[in-house]
Amino acid sequence: MGEYKTLFRMRLRFFWPGLRKDIRKWVGCGHCTAYNVWSSRKSEGYFSWPVTTPFYIMHMDLWAPGKIVSAASSKTQMLLNAMCNLTQFVISSVVENLTAEVLAQALMEDVVLTFGMVAVVVVDADSKFLHVFEEMCTELKIMLWPLARGNHKGNSVEKYHCFLDKM
């Protein structure tokens, strides 16, 4: 997470004298600390999200094994993966029909009714399904934050998709 996010999260629950110094010493390897100080500081503001409450900001994307031939294909079973920004907890829902109504129902049943209301949904602006996510957020009156094109680091659910692809 980096020095600043770790310090912020530790301060929410703990305090001891020299907390900042200890976190600076524990976080990061020597190579990263020596060579990436300025680049990581600049990019941290670019990729950081406000730390609020669990399940307030959800990173969402659709995943299917293999290649998707067409975004309009309604027979393809896919996983709607929603990852909490704060806890990195992933909720996966199987969806067959890729419409805004089906995604909204899956989000309501599997996330909102179980864990609480979501205020912000973060998606890839590059996604073939951006328009479906836009319709879903409009129906549920949830704020949508599409990321800049090619910014896959900003959507933390992409790391989970890489894990699924390797498995």
What pLDDT band is residue 3 in, cutting at 50, 70 and 90? confident
- pLDDT bucket at 121, cuts 50 / 70 / 90: confident
**Is there a single domain that holds both residue 19 and residue 79?**
no
Q: In this structure, what CATH number is given to the domain that contains residue 150?
A: 3.30.420.10
Residue at 52 is within a domain: no
Q: Which domain holds residue 16?
A: 3-47
**Taking a C-beta distance cutoff of 8 angstroms, is the pair 137, 144 a contact?**
yes
- pTM to 2 decimals? 0.61
**Are residues 131 and 81 both part of a single domain?**
yes
Q: Are residues 104 and 150 in the same domain?
A: yes
142 has a pLDDT exceeding 50: yes
Question: What would the DSSP string read from start to end of 72-111?
Answer: T-SS--EEEEEEETTT--EEEEEESS-SHHHHHHHHIIII
Mean pLDDT over the full length of the chain: 76
Residues 61 and 161 sit within 8 Å (Cβ to Cβ): yes
Say whether pLDDT at 103 is over 50: yes
Which pLDDT does position 45 carry in this prediction?
44
H/E stretch holding 50 reads: none
Residues 70 and 139 in one domain: yes
Q: Are 41 and 92 found together in one domain?
A: no
Distances (CA, A) of 25 to 19, 28, 105: 10, 8, 46
- Do 113 and 138 fall within a single domain? yes
Please compute the mean of the pLDDT values over residues 47-67 and round it to a whole number. Answer: 75
Q: How far apart are CA 37 and CA 31, in angstroms?
A: 10
Considering the domain architecture, whether residues 28 and 97 belong to the same structural domain is answered as: no
Mean pLDDT for 55-83 is 75
pLDDT of residue 31: 57
